[in-house]
Amino acid sequence: MIIFETTNFLLKKIRFDAKRYLQSFGRKQLAYVLFLAVLLLYYLFGHVLEYSDKRLPETTVVMEQYGQRLEMNLSSKQTDTIVVLKEREHLLTAIEERIVAYLYQMPDYSYMTSLEVYLKYRPELLQQFPSAVPLEKGDYVLSSQYGIRTHPISLKTKKHFGIDLAAPLGKTVYATASGIVSEVIYSSNGYGNHIIIKHRFGFESLYGHLNKILVRKGQKIQQHELIATVGNSGNSTGYHLHYETVKNESKIDPIPSLNLKRNVYAELIEQNNNNHGE
């Protein structure tokens, strides 16, 4: 009862105060509030734009500028090393910020080519989005591409939203990036037994027609971690892994992502060998 009365009293007081406040609201205050609202909208809109692909060209230009400065810095023969090292550190951070913005903004892997040259400065970012093959080398054959195809069962023309990697029963399946398991589904149709992993930058990966699933929903996964084995569950005509990549809720072609990490590291190793050879 006491609680009820107190609440009632407080509500009345708030109502009264609000009324009085609104009455005393002058034009000056109104202009001020409107100004604040516009400022807030401007801030929110800017933030949304930061993560939209409309900003991609801008991000690319800034990244290129930092990249050129970094190349100059790296080849510098200056004796004042502290200044050079400080600048290098600053440029690497600036480049990382641009790479991160670019990864959020890009709609699919076809935009990756402009980014690939800069990833060698921050190769650890490759762990956080699909950049590898989900099966072991020699275990699989690419049996179906992403895109329009005739479905092997229904014989209807349909878009294939992933790629098929034919592999024998029980071959091990690995996460193509670190992330969190968002779905573990056991089913006898569609994708069959399948896993979805959520990664950074709006990426997701899906592994379908599995035999055994070795992870559970909500589990934190590292890149290249063993997650399942190849099977033939669901709507499938033979042992294979159906692999999908999703970016900002849209299914995208995973093909350019498969050798991404390998290519960047191959370049790093080559660079390293050259430097030691000097």
Please give the residue ranges that form the binding site for Zn ion (CB under 5 A): 164, 242
Q: How far is the CB of 214 from Zn ion (least distance, A)?
A: 21
3-state helix, strand, coil in the chain (%, to 5): 45, 25, 30
- Smallest distance, Zn ion to C-beta of residue 248, A: 21
Q: How far is the CB of 143 from Zn ion (least distance, A)?
A: 9
For Zn ion, which is the closer residue by CB, 85 or 169? 169
Phi/psi for 9 (5° steps) reads -60, -45
231 in Cβ contact with 192 (< 8 Å): yes
Pick the closer one to Zn ion by CB: 123 or 190.
190
Chain-centroid distance, C-alpha 97 = 14
User: Whose CB is nearest to Zn ion?
Assistant: 242
Query: 3-class DSSP state for residue 254?
Result: coil
Q: Using the minimum distance from each CB to Zn ion, give the nearer residue, 164 or 204.
A: 164
> Tokens at residue 122, please?
């921050």
How far apart (Å, rounded) are the C-alpha atoms in residues 162 and 32? 53
Q: CB of residue 136 vs Zn ion: minimum separation in angstroms?
A: 19
Residue by residue, DSSP assigns 32-72 as HHHHHHHHHHHHHHHHHHHTSGGGHHHHHHHHHHHHHHHHH
Minimum CB separation of residue 185 from Zn ion in Å reads 15
CB of 149 to Zn ion, least distance (A): 9
Nearer of residues 199 and 242 to Zn ion, judged by Cβ: 242
Which of 155, 152, 63 shows the shortest CA–CA distance to 105? 63
Minimum CB distance to Zn ion smaller for 98 or for 240: 240
Closest of 61, 223, 220 to residue 127, by C-alpha:
223
The smaller minimum CB distance to Zn ion, of residues 242 and 261, is found at 242
